[in-house]
Amino acid sequence: MWEIRPLRFRSVLYVAAALLFQPLAACSSESDTATAPVESSAEATPEADASAPAADEKLVVAFGDSLYAGYQLDPGQGFAPQLEAALDADGVPTRVVNAGVSGDTTAAGLQRLAFTLDGLDRKPDLVLVGLGGNDMLRGIDPQQTRENMTAIMEELTKRGIPVMLTGMLAPPNLGPDYRTKFESIYPDLAAKYDAPLYPFILDGVLGKGNLMLGDGIHPNPAGAKLIADKVAPQVEAALKR
């Protein structure tokens, strides 16, 4: 179980930045593509690695939205490659596949999940799921978000793939009822599916100008590295389960 209250102040900063933009653009440079059945962008296809994997190399899939995809960052600077570097530095040889798509809602993520998994060269040792932020910014009914996230967890469970969740917070302007319903999705699913949970993906980064892009929403390379370094120990523990 995790404590949400210490993180609420930082969520206010997130919303203050987000409200400067149209909700559909807050986590994407696209407009309506987040609700398309499958993104045609290269981001929607897992990054290929031509090198032969080491015998003890783990395969982790980072399946999420722009916070996973590395929005406006050069190759090697986003969350996925920096998580891979952090795991390797800790002596855990890992290939982290960037399956993040900017603008993805939970509905769009669910629609491309099977395609993403079927495109891999083998079954992952772990899938990180980081979706829901765009649902929240669009004001989508949390029940729909919960149903989509549950379907994602069910598909991964059916395939025998371990899961780790990274959570998101809702803004105060959406009201206490929305916040309660939205923010409870992540711990509820973590408990139901016995999945590790990193409560807030932007923890330690949000509101810090030296760690964020100019939009105040997405991490810059230094911010992505900090997130990866903070998430890595929990990923390592999940891989040992």
Determine the 3-state secondary structure of 79 from DSSP. helix
56 carries an active-site annotation = no
* Given 66, 102, 104, 203, the catalytic residue: 66
215 carries an active-site annotation = yes
Q: How far apart are CA 241 and CA 228, in angstroms?
A: 20
CB proximity list for 68: less than 8 A, separation 6 or greater = 62, 78, 79, 80, 98, 99, 100, 128, 130
Beta bridge partners of 63: 99, 129
66 carries an active-site annotation = yes
Checking 74-78 for CB contacts under 8 A at 24+ apart, the result is: 74/221, 77/221, 77/224, 78/224
Q: How far apart are CA 94 and CA 84, in angstroms?
A: 6
Q: How far apart are CA 218 and CA 28, in angstroms?
A: 10
Residues with a catalytic annotation lie at: 66, 215, 218
